[in-house]
Structure formats: C-alpha cells, structure tokens
Amino acid sequence: MNIESLEVYIVDLPTIRPHQLAMHTIVMQTIILVCVKGEGDLEGWGEVATIGGASYFEETPEAIKVNIEKYIAPHVIGKNPAHFDAIAYTVNQHVVGNRFAKAAVEAAVVDLAARSRGIPAYELFGGQIHTSLPIAWTLASGDTRRDIEEAQESLNAKRHNIFKLKIGVGDPKRNVAHVLAIKEAVGEAASIRVDVNQAWDEVTALYCIEALQDGGVDLIEQPLISWNKEGMARLTSKFNVPIMADESLSSIEQAFQVAKKRAGNVFAIKPAKAGGLTAAKKVAAIAEAAGIGLYGGTMIESSLGTAIAAQLYSTIPEMKYGTELFGPLLFTDTITANAIVYENFQIVVPSGPGFGMEMDKEKIFHYARDL
C-alpha cells in the first residue's frame, strides 16, 4: 500500500485558562494536523503543536503548513508508509531543518503504517515497556494560595503529584518565594519543579537556584538562554539539584553537544523538537549513553499529539523524571472521539490501532483555519 494524498490543517484550540510562559501566554493553542491517505480511504494522522507563533521556536504554524505541502509532501506521496525511516532519509536529503514539519508528517505516516496492519504504533518502535507514565501538572495561577489549593485538590484526586511552576516572568526573588511557599505547603507529598524558559542571566540563576535547592525543589528547567551551553554546564556542575535542558536541546546534533558539554543532567525530550519519533529515540539513546536522565516533555499538544508522544515514551526503558503530557487537560474541547485517560498520577498509554485515537472530523473542521 502506498500513500495517495497528504493534507495539512492549522487548528486553534481554546484553553481553560491562560497558560503563561516567559515568552508567551497561551489562551488559544495552535496545532498542525497532517492526514495521509492510503488505499480504501485508510487514514493516518499526525500532530505537532507550536507555542506563540514564532516566539518559542522558529517554525510558525503557517510556515509548517506551506513547507509540508510544497517541499515535503512530494517526497512522501507514492511511498510505502511502512518505510517511514527511508521516507525521512529522503526528506532530509531535500529539506534542511523544519523539524516540526517533519515530525508531523512522520507521525501521520507511522499512524497509517500501524493502522494498515491493525497494530499500535509502538509495535513499530520495538514494543511497549510502560503501559502508563507519571504525569506532571503546571501550576500557573500566579497566586500562591490558589496554586497550593490546586495542588492539594490534585493530590487528593490522585491526578498529579509532580508540579511544575513557570517562573520566567516577573521578579525572580518573588517567584522563588512563591515556589518555596508551595513546596513548604505540600511537603514530601509532591515533587515541585520550576521551568525558567531561558529567562535568567547566570548571576540571577546562581542565587535563585541556590535558594530553590535549599528549599527542596527537585528540578530546574532551562534557566539560561538556549545558546548558553557553557553557562548551563557551569550551573550543572555547581549544584546538586538537576538542571534540565529543554530549549537548548533540539536536534540530535544539539543533544550530542549538550551531553558532551554536560550542559544539563536531564533531557526534556519532545518528538517535534527532535524532528520526529525516530529522531527522538536517537536523542534518548544519546542520553542513555551519557548517563543523562529523561523527561517526557510537551509542546502542549491535543489528545492526538499527546498519544503520539505517550506511545513513543512508552518504548523508552527509563523515563526517570516522568512526563508532562497534560495538554488535553488544558483545552476546553477535543478533536478526537476518544479521550486520553489519566488515573493514579499517571497517563495511560493509548493502545488502539495506530496511535490509538479516533479523529472527530466535525471538530477538526470546526476549529480549523479557513486558509
């Protein structure tokens, strides 16, 4: 069976509350969906999410759509979806960069390949090791008391016991005090982590990380700007609390550089950043070889993109720092007929054919941009 057509949709999904990062506050999240069709109307679907247009990474939703349609699709149509690595090799020979675009297409091709055999996609990546994975939640109201209440409600409901705070906006000292008050309130019942989204300079990072480490915070994500690998390396060697590379870790080559310079001792892995599922597994292999821990990151995907990441992470032996695949919980609506299941502080890895999600076409067309 060969791929007969490829279509791309830009879809804007509203969120249940503003989600604040250092570079952008999300109230409407933009995802890109790719649909490839094989024989007999068999379909494969892929997704990547972007944050704030061009504010998080270079690839915008509009550029992703155009570059897939004009430059990637001609190397995909007519090919056998079972050969997804060979297709990616050909695409890479003709298209540099554009890792989000490549990841969306590869996921759709893998979904089609798996569905054509009636098996879950993780079977094509060596099989499932984990049936569920730990799941972090981001506390982002900005109000200390409300965040503590939200954390305690979540602990009582057995939904999350890992909480991340985005602290790249505002006064660093006040933000640190906010985080430490939350840690003191939840105590050992929860892991508290921070994501700075590149917002600090090295001097600010030195005193903030020291205070956070002393207060029992478990993980410091991307304190410095993405290019400052030497600074990240100095912080990693100075503190006992783990330093995680996210924005500074994109391609396979970047992963090697971060590992070589020890510019972080945890990798935030994401299929879109790496350029696809196969590429993300290669990033995981670099981490394994370097003795670096793994964290299953999110670009805040909808249920489909979350299923794609969850299925891939389920094939990686050790996700020492868990995952943050909470995307579907942040949206007011869904584009799939079935939902991602969260229970017992874990995300349950979907296991139907392909990535295990059934697309709701009416919803997709309702939220899709009319381009």
What span, in angstroms and rounded, lies between the C-alpha atoms of 255 and 191? Answer: 26
Sign for the pseudo-dihedral over CA of 360, 362, 363, 365: positive
Q: β-strands 132-134, 243-245: how paired?
A: unpaired
> CB within 8 A of 346, min separation 6: which ones?
132, 133, 134, 135
CA distances from 204 to 2, 246, 344 (A): 54, 19, 37
Q: In the bound complex, what is the minimum distance in angstroms from residue 268's beta carbon to Mg ion?
A: 6
Q: Which is catalytic among the residues 166, 183, 270, 273?
A: 166
Smaller CB distance to Mg ion: residue 34 or 165? Answer: 165
158 in active site: no
Gap between the terminal Cα atoms of the chain: 30
> CB within 8 A of 138, min separation 6: which ones?
19, 163, 164, 165, 166, 195, 324, 326
Smaller CB distance to Mg ion: residue 195 or 218? Answer: 195
Side chain identity, residue 279: A
109's tokens: 């091709």
Q: In the bound complex, what is the minimum distance in angstroms from residue 197's beta carbon to Mg ion?
A: 6
- The sheet with strand 342-343 has its strands ordered as 132-134, 346-348, 342-343
Q: In the bound complex, what is the minimum distance in angstroms from residue 364's beta carbon to Mg ion?
A: 27
Smaller CB distance to Mg ion: residue 150 or 246? Answer: 246
Q: In the bound complex, what is the minimum distance in angstroms from residue 121's beta carbon to Mg ion?
A: 25
Asked if 176 and 208 count as a contact pair (C-beta separation under 8 A), the reply is yes
Smaller CB distance to Mg ion: residue 57 or 239? Answer: 57
The H or E element spanning position 162 is: strand 162-166
Q: Which of 33, 5, 24 is nearest to 371 (CA)?
A: 33
What span, in angstroms and rounded, lies between the C-alpha atoms of 161 and 144? Answer: 17
Q: For the purposes of burial, counting CB atoms within 10 Å of the CB of 289, is it exposed (0-12), middle (13-18) or buried (19 or more)?
A: exposed
Q: In the bound complex, what is the minimum distance in angstroms from residue 45's beta carbon to Mg ion?
A: 25
Q: In the bound complex, what is the minimum distance in angstroms from residue 205's beta carbon to Mg ion?
A: 15
Could you list the residues that contact Mg ion (CB under 5 A)?
195, 246
- Closest residue to Mg ion: CB criterion: 246
What span, in angstroms and rounded, lies between the C-alpha atoms of 276 and 273? Answer: 8
What span, in angstroms and rounded, lies between the C-alpha atoms of 235 and 215? Answer: 17
Q: In the bound complex, what is the minimum distance in angstroms from residue 346's beta carbon to Mg ion?
A: 21
Smaller CB distance to Mg ion: residue 9 or 267? Answer: 267
Catalytic positions, written as ranges: 166
